[in-house]
């Protein structure tokens, strides 16, 4: 019974792709975004840029959380450890709060921040023996308790959120497509099955079609798909109680997240479920509350044909498309005793082999979403008809890249250097 249920459930948490055999699109502008007055925006906020690094190795910390202490404004570092955060001039907060898995938190005074060039160092968190308790005999029991305590650990009230979403396509090591959006999110309570809603507030795109090898990649579902990686709200997409028998669990280690000790629970397939691939990864579970604080996992691609069915909705004739990597990560942020979805990223790599070509081409598709603002008071759901649907494609909904001040007061994920170069190239191609 369970096997049949699992094999038929829609794995929307996996990025679905649309392949088109021939490229006919041009640099058309289809702007559905709202505009802001940039001059007014700069009067209402202060902007700070910097980099988060390991205090000992000096290496950048990727996907570190950067928040305004005691407020709901946040962002995350990019692949270079860089961040930019915009804070309202009316903010009463005194500190910028930095956290990262396995490191001590840092509360850095806002009064000491410069507008640019801030280098903030985090110290590795060392777990001493007297902090480590005897591991439980059954890590599966921890996971079961984690699932059953959803109502206690996660918000039973609706929240409205602002988020920043980015999706990109790379051919080998070169970016060939990029779409970004500020999104409005209605986050439904974790205690019922009401679906989250998401809509595009403002967005932009770019695509260098001359480098796409006559294949056009589009991510179907976009920000909706990324939001579904919230494993505690959408338990059936990763692990729920009905799926526990199909995984084997072990405790790998202990780790500190935001000064809290976490079990690091490894999970992998116990047995193959028909033709349906499952996941392997790590769950980070708070030892006191048994809340899931983060998860890193990847899809089993041992059977590329079965895995390919999850990703590929349409592909051109004569092309063999094989998924080679499918990895995901999700993070939560604790505030006032409750945990809230804060960040998710998915990366899928494909090998494309044309029938009459000797060599294959590798494409990498990535999507990420970061929650930048949260409101617990104004929580009315926006109209259902305004939602971004699972069948929608962000690239078709937004216009081409514009000026550097496009985002105004809204917090975004800083682009890594290679994306910055890609944007410049895309803008040049667009203006020819």
Q: What is the pTM of this model?
A: 0.89
CATH superfamily of 48-122: Carboxypeptidase-like, regulatory domain (2.60.40.1120)
Closest alpha carbon to 181 in 127, 117, 224, 232: 224
Q: Please tell me the predicted confidence (pLDDT) of residue 10.
A: 39
- For the chain, how many residues are written? 432
- Beta-ladder partners of 241: none
CA distances 272 to 191, 269, 278, Å, are 31, 7, 8
Q: Please tell me the predicted confidence (pLDDT) of residue 243.
A: 87
Higher pLDDT, 390 or 402: 390
Closest alpha carbon to 422 in 81, 79, 8: 79
The H or E element spanning position 292 is strand 292-299
DSSP letter at 124?
B
Q: Please tell me the predicted confidence (pLDDT) of residue 302.
A: 86
Residue 3 — pLDDT band, cuts 50, 70, 90?
very low
For residue range 220-253, what is the model confidence (pLDDT) as tens digits? 888 998 999 999 999 988 889 988 988 999 998 8
- Please state the rounded mean pLDDT for residues 72-95: 94
Residue 309 — pLDDT band, cuts 50, 70, 90?
confident
Q: Is 325 exposed, middle or buried (0-12, 13-18, 19+ CB in 10 A)?
A: middle
CA distances 190 to 109, 187, 234, 376, Å, are 34, 9, 9, 14
CATH 2.60.40.1120 domain position(s) in the chain? 48-122
DSSP letter at 126?
P
First-to-last alpha carbon distance for the chain, in angstroms, is 59
For residue range 311-362, what is the model confidence (pLDDT) as tens digits? 877 777 777 888 899 999 999 999 989 999 999 999 999 888 877 777 888 9
Residue 30 — pLDDT band, cuts 50, 70, 90?
very low
């Amino acid at each position: 019974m369970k096997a049949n249920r699992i094999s038929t459930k829609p794995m929307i948490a996996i990025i679905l792709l649309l392949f088109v055999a021939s490229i006919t699109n041009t640099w058309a502008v289809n702007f559905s975004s709202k505009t802001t007055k940039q001059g007014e925006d700069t009067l209402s906020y202060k902007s700070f840029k910097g980099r988060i690094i390991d205090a000992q190795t000096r290496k950048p910390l990727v996907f570190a959380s950067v928040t305004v202490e005691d407020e709901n404004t946040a962002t995350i570092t990019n692949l270079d450890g860089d961040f930019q955060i915009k804070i309202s001039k009316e903010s009463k907060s005194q500190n910028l709060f930095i956290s990262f898995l396995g490191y001590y938190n840092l509360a850095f005074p806002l009064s000491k921040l410069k507008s640019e060039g801030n280098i903030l160092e985090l110290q590795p968190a060392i777990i001493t023996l007297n902090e480590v308790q005897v591991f439980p005999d059954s890590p599966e029991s921890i996971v079961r308790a984690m699932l059953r305590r959803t109502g206690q650990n996660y918000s039973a009230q609706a929240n409205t959120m602002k988020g920043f979403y980015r999706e990109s396509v790379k051919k080998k090591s070169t970016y060939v497509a990029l779409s970004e959006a500020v999104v409005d999110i209605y986050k439904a309570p974790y205690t019922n099955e009401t679906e989250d809603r998401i809509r595009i507030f403002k967005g932009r795109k770019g695509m260098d079609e001359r480098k796409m090898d006559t294949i056009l990649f589009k991510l179907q579902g976009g920000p909706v798909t990324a939001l579904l990686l919230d494993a505690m709200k959408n338990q059936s997409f990763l692990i729920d109680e009905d799926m526990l028998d199909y995984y084997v669990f072990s405790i790998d280690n202990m780790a500190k997240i935001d000064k809290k000790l976490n079990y690091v629970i490894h999970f992998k397939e116990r047995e193959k479920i028909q033709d349906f691939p499952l996941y392997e990864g790590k769950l980070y579970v708070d030892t006191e509350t048994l809340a899931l604080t983060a998860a890193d996992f990847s899809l089993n691609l041992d059977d590329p044909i079965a895995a390919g069915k999850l990703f590929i909705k349409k592909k051109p004739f004569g092309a063999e498309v094989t998924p080679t990597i499918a990895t995901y990560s999700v993070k939560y942020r604790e505030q006032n005793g409750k945990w809230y979805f804060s960040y998710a990223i998915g990366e899928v790599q494909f090998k494309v082999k044309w029938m009459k070509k000797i060599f294959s081409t590798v494409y990498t598709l990535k999507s990420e979403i970061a929650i930048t603002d949260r409101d617990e008071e104004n929580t009315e759901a926006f109209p259902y008809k305004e939602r971004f649907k699972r069948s929608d494609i962000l690239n078709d909904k937004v216009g081409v890249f514009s000026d550097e001040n496009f985002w105004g007061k809204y917090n975004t994920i800083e682009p890594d250097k290679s994306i910055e170069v890609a944007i410049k190239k895309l803008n040049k191609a667009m203006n020819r």
